[in-house]
Structure 1
Amino acid sequence: MAKQTAGRDNLGEFSPQFAALNDDVLFGEVWDREKQLSLRDRSLITVASLLTQGVPQLEAHLTIAKQNGVTKEEIVELITHLAFYAGWPKAWSAFNLAKEIFDESE
């Protein structure tokens, strides 16, 4: 996984400690533990969590999931499954994002 700099890029001057925790701990140390859990599996878990919360970070993590080898079919199944647990409107929103990101014409 590429070195994460979103924390420093977006919040580095305003909240340097939070930015460092985001980039160095969350994406540096936690996501780097691939022997314990693959990037692909971490992506599936993260997308599922963000979908249930209905937060805007879902879009970025759908893109990361695709980069980490999650397939369109897996994302469709994940969203369909979670629709019954997280709510239909959240699933609709997630499907709209996933359609853009996993568009097979790319």
Structure 2
Amino acid sequence: MTASSSTPTSIEAARHTIFDAGLTVRKEVLGEDYVESALARNAGTDGEALQKYVSEFVWGSVWTRPGLDRRSRSLLNLGMLVALSQHHELSVHVRGALRNGLTREEIVEAILHATAYVGAPAGLAAMRVVQETLTAELGPLDHKAGQ
């Protein structure tokens, strides 16, 4: 048997294993009803492939890694979803965070913390670029003219 003839079979078996692991974690974190509903809603549609991808690569390849526990992953997700303004997904992951052991107070603090950083760093980074460009184009700010 050549390597090329055995590769698709072993790759498909590996993908199936990762998908199954991801589906298990996804259901444990988000709830079986939520996941089954998402899969059923997308079955036979263009979205079916995306549901499979999310289960395999997000939940199977990332959430099953040993480096962080689920509680930590949930905490990270809350901050990232705030930063991305993904409110529907944020709602889903708040529920997952509760399942993963975060308290109401911790979730509220995570949102407050993310809000401070999502607002301030983005504005500061943008202002650095704007200031550099304005100085290059118009010269330094004339403090006397502004008074």
Length-normalised TM-score, structure 1: 0.68
Question: Greater Rg, structure 1 or structure 2?
Answer: 2
Q: Deviations over 1:11-35 (max 9, x none)?
A: 23213321111122212232122x2
Return the offset for 1:80. Answer: 1.4
Q: Which residue of 2 aligns with 1:41?
A: 72
Q: Distance in 1 between matches of 2:58 and 2:37?
A: 12
Length-normalised TM-score, structure 2: 0.51
The percent identity for this pair of structures is: 29
Q: Distance in 2 between matches of 1:29 and 1:7?
A: 19
* Structure 2 residue ranges without an equivalent (≥5): 1-24, 120-147
SS at match of 1:70: coil
RMSD across aligned positions (CA): 2.0
* Structure 1 residue ranges without an equivalent (≥5): 88-106
Task: Return structure 1 stretches of 4+ with deviation > 3 angstroms.
Answer: 3-7
Aligned pair count reads 86
Q: Is the 8 A contact 1:7 1:22 kept in 2?
A: no
- More helix per residue: 2
